[in-house]
Structure 1
Amino acid sequence: MARAAGLRQLWHSLPLERFSTRENYIWLVVATVCIGAFMAALDASIVNVALPDLSTYFHSSASLVSWVLIAYLLTLATLLTLFGRLADILGRRPLYTFGFLVFIVGSAACGAAVNLPMLIISRIFQAAGAAMLQANSVAIITAAVPASVRGRAIGFQGSAQAIGLSLGPAIGGALIGLFGWRAIFYVNVPVGLIGTLMAAMILPKDKLQGHHATFDWWGTLLMTPFLVLLMMALTEGQSWGWTSPAVIGMFVAAALFLTGFIVRELSFRAPLVDMRLFKIAIFSLGNFTGLLSYLAMFGVLFLMPFYFERVLNYHSAVTGLILTAVPLGMTVAAPKSGALADRYGPRLLTTGGMALTGLATLMLAWTISLHAQVILIVMELVMVGVGLGMFTPPNNSSVMGSLPSSRLGVGGGILNMARSLGMALGTAVSGTVLAILLTAHGGIEQPGGPKAPWIPSTRVALLVLVGLSALAAVLSIFRVAGNSRPASGQSQESMPLEW
């Protein structure tokens, strides 16, 4: 009892004054959040390069082993909004800190897995910790950082997330080559311990409002199967057949669960997802264009490795290094874009960013060939990253800035859920178009087939991504400039979206 009381006293004494009283305290908060954003995003993509090794080690088919990745993405998409709402109720700081601990345990269990089912279950547990981190990262920054520099701060967070997503294959390939596949999971343990300590000692206390203590369990029970069924249909549609009874049944069931979820949310006084948030034009538009931006990025990141390895015969480690051109472009552009958005508003940057991504993808489509100049392709991938770096921070800042403070957690969860769905859609759409056109041109997806059919197939798939990027750019033109979040002197209770 005495020890428990001592731990509670220690927790309530945090954050440490040696950090919270510093002039640069808000940037310590941003740095702490960036660690979690990087780790959670890294493990969404680091497994890709390990799938062949896992298939050999566990003597399993590629489709079965792919659930090591699918289970992670499904769990993320399912839990992001749930944990965003819980953060509004319980506090962002404790949930974020606990998320690090869950992520560490899940990572260690993945590394110690003795069979494939244990690995998949451990990945679900790991993704639950990642969801606690991702659902809270933007909300913590929005609550802690002044509006005058919020765009820049979210730009750093967006860079950390994008770098984690895109560096996963390169880091995974290096670790597997040096230490084996278990290393890609064990590496999270020491980094996660550092993140846990930083979160406990640095993140600010939450200002909770007791009248938000009601939690929408029925909303959760309806939303979870909707997202799971939707993601399963999208990820398995290509292999099972889009017109198969199983896939059609999953889409129909997902639609029914979605209908039930919407009816529940509109009638419940404290919903998991406040549907009135979507009446805010900036919030709705920003989430949809954000989904399109990640669809375009993951479409490119899905297609180009096949081109490099099936057509140019590059090793997966080399492919991973080439793909770092995308996060390099994002790293350069995101902080500067956030700072410019603080001064000039989000419209020009979001529109120009997606237009640049579309142009760069169009150039990629016409550059690829049986003997392409790799330097030119690298430059175009950098442009893709720069465009996304220009778009993401202003978009996220405007979305979060449009919300009242008590809805930041659920708003951040929806924003991250849109990103996860964009990632899944990018893979599903690009993979489906590529597979259909390869068959039409007499090619095969497996190694050793003819190379020529890959060129027109990949080109058309890239052109689809160009069209979606252009749609995001056009929609961004209608974005309202600046933030709609109330100034610090305005009472939050006067906001129409408050309970």
Structure 2
Amino acid sequence: MHDHAKPVQSPWLTLLVVCTVSTLLALNGSTLNIALPVLVRHFDADASAGSWLLLSYMMANSATLVIFGRLGDMTGQRPIYLIGLTTFTVSSILCGFAPNIETLIVVRCIQGLSSAILLTNGATLIHGAFPPELLGKAMGYYTASFSVASLVGPTLGGFLVEAAGWQWVFWFNVPLCLLGLYWGARHLRGEPPLDGDQSLDVGGNIITMVSLLLLTFGISQATDLGWANVQVWGLALVAVLLVPVLVRIERRAKDPIFDPGVLRTNGVVGIYVGGALNAAGRFPLVTIMSLYFQIILGRSALSAGLWLLPMPIATISAAMCMGWLSSRRNARQLSTAGSALGLMGLITVTLSITTGVEWGILVGLAITGSGTGVFLGANATALLQALPEGKAGVGNAVRLMVQNGGTLVATAAVLTIITSSAAPGLRSAVLGGDPGGMDPSELLPGFQWGLIAMIVLSVGGLLVCIHNQRIMRPPHLRK
């Protein structure tokens, strides 16, 4: 059994490696959010293909997190982590050589697979390296590493596409990948493989992946076909009907993805649901506001990146306070506080774009970022404290899967809502950052309704956090 009180080496070296890699993962996403209009125009892509430049990565990532989490538990986190980082490096290089939009989407899927390996095993490596009394502080730094990339990414992405070309949105992170590989090979240790006969829940993973793909693809098709189209709601219906099949498979699986025993313990299911709803209500905001600044306010990609800075700055500031906050409040209380603060920020942003108060948008982004910084670290810490021994890898993978799945579906829905304000022939132009001859004010309702949908999701996340706050794990079971 792993002893948290006696880490194999200095835990801060492990944290340094994982934070370096998480920074490049976040840079990969935040730079592309800004560059999306440029890529849509360059490849002359339609609205659906433009959406899938973002969704393909998220889809592949979300659908394989649990598989790689289980493999990490079975083989040890270090070897699979280094394999994932190598694959991510190679796929970053290949993205820049993509000759067409279809090839780029395929390579983005490979990037998504490799990022799933890194994400699902990164927090587990930290959990295994740090003693319980330092875990909250370490998770705060881990959360901040994503936010540092979000701080630099939008501005960097805008600069790269204007000064060097879209290829460098993917190539610039290669040196950081190589640095992470060097440090990882030297300093990562990870926990040893689990003893005993462990197995992959192949049936559960397949059903989960198919359900997520059908639901996301159905929603994304509403951009071109409309919400009433049989293909849109038919695919979503099939995805929902697969849920009972998943439940039956999980009851018979030897090592299920969704272990009923774990889900019923210490409010774990509430941590998952709260994380999914809060992620769905927060993470699409960067994509929405990037398009808003370029389409409605008519700003360049670089200018849009600068306008987004208050959100990551606030996220970093809040995440860096997690050590201090964790010494005064437990992780579930902090999750509730972060959820409430993020909701206040979303409401502020929505009211500001409705009234045209531009400085209010900046304030709202800052408030949202503060809540996000507190919530992410606290939610991860609460889960790692609640999971039974030996379940950290797959348990954290499920957290990331439901969180990213919520983000994936919400992003697909929000992009559809935004483009629905335009005529069918102009929807590709909207994702390309061009109102297509329309008065930009005609597109404003789409942004407003997209934000309102996120507010509804955030309210649900807050209610779950409030309920879950009452379910506390006894201190003697946390080690």
TM score, norm. by length of structure 1: 0.85
Counterparts in 2 of 1:212 and 1:462: CA distance versus 1, 3 Å: same
Instruction: Determine if the alignment matches structure 1 residue 268 to structure 2 residue 292.
Output: no
8 Å contact 1:88–1:410 — kept in the other structure?
Answer: yes
The answer (yes or no) to whether the contact 2:280–2:410 under 8 Å persists in 1 is yes
Pairing 1:191–2:180 present: no
Map of 2:403 onto structure 1 = 419
Task: Choose the corresponding residue for 2:371, options 366, 381, 387.
Answer: 387
1:154 to 132, 139, 156: 139
- Range moving further from structure 2, 268-277 or 74-83: 268-277
Mapped partners of 2:404, 2:164: distance in 1: 30
Deviates more, 1:101-110 or 1:203-212: 203-212
Is 1:478 paired with 2:467? yes
- Cα distance change of structure 1 residues 469 and 216 upon mapping to structure 2, 3 Å threshold: closer
Q: 1:177 aligns with which of 152, 162, 166?
A: 162
Distance in 2 of aligned mates of 1:346 and 1:56:
45
The residue that corresponds to 2:326 in the other structure is 341
Q: How does 1:327-406 map to 2 (within 5 A)?
A: 327-368=312-353, 371-372=356-357, 374-406=358-390
Pair 200,214 (structure 1): closer, same or farther in 2 beyond 3 Å: same
Letter in 2 for 1:126: Q
State the percentage of identical aligned residues: 27
For residues 56-455 of structure 1, the aligned pairs below 5 Å read 56-165=41-150, 167-368=152-353, 371-372=356-357, 374-435=358-419, 445=430, 446-455=435-444
Separation (CA, whole Å) in 2 of partners of 1:321 and 1:187: 19
**Partner deviation per Cα, 1:338-382 (whole Å, 9 max, x = no partner):** 44224420243222222222222222222225753x333212211
**RMSD between superposed Cα atoms in Å:** 2.7
Aligned partner letter, 1:178: A
Say how many residue pairs are matched.
Answer: 465
Q: 1:63 to 1:429 in 2, by over 3 A?
A: closer
Aligned-pair CA distance for 1:230: 2.0
Distance in 2 between residues matched to 1:402 and 1:324, nearest whole Å: 34
User: What is the DSSP-based 3-state SS (H/G/I as helix, E as strand, rest coil) of the residue aligned with 1:37?
Assistant: helix
Comparing 467-476 with 286-295, which one deviates more in the overlay? 467-476
Shift of 1:437: 6.3
Structure of higher RCO (CA pairs closer than 8 Å, 6+ residues apart): 2
In our comparison, the structure showing a higher alpha carbon Rg is: 1
Q: TM-score, normalised by structure 2?
A: 0.88
Q: Deviations over 1:426-471 (max 9, x none)?
A: 32343344455678xxx99534322444455534443443333233
- 8 A Cα contact 2:139 2:381, kept in partner: yes
Mapped contact 1:358–1:467 kept (Cα < 8 A): no
- The question of whether the paired residues in 2 share the 8 Å contact of 1:294 and 1:423 is answered with yes
- 1: CA distance, partners of 2:46 / 2:421: 24
1:104 deviates by 0.6
Q: Which moved more, 1:268-277 or 1:381-390?
A: 268-277
Q: C-alpha separation between the residues in 2 aligned to 1:395 and 1:349? A: 8
Q: Relative to structure 2, which stretch is displaced further, 249-258 or 449-458?
A: 449-458
Q: Are the equivalent residues in 2 in contact too, given 1:30–1:153 (CA < 8 A)?
A: yes
Q: CA deviation at 1:190?
A: 1.3
In structure 2, list runs of 5 or more residues that go unmatched.
Answer: 1-6
The alpha-carbon distance between structure 1 residues 316 and 131, as it changes in their structure 2 partners (threshold 3 A), is same
| 1:281 CA drift (Å) | 4.6
- Equivalent residue number for residue 5 of structure 1: none
Conservation of the 8 A alpha-carbon contact between 1:328 and 1:382:
yes
State the secondary structure of the residue aligned to 2:254: coil
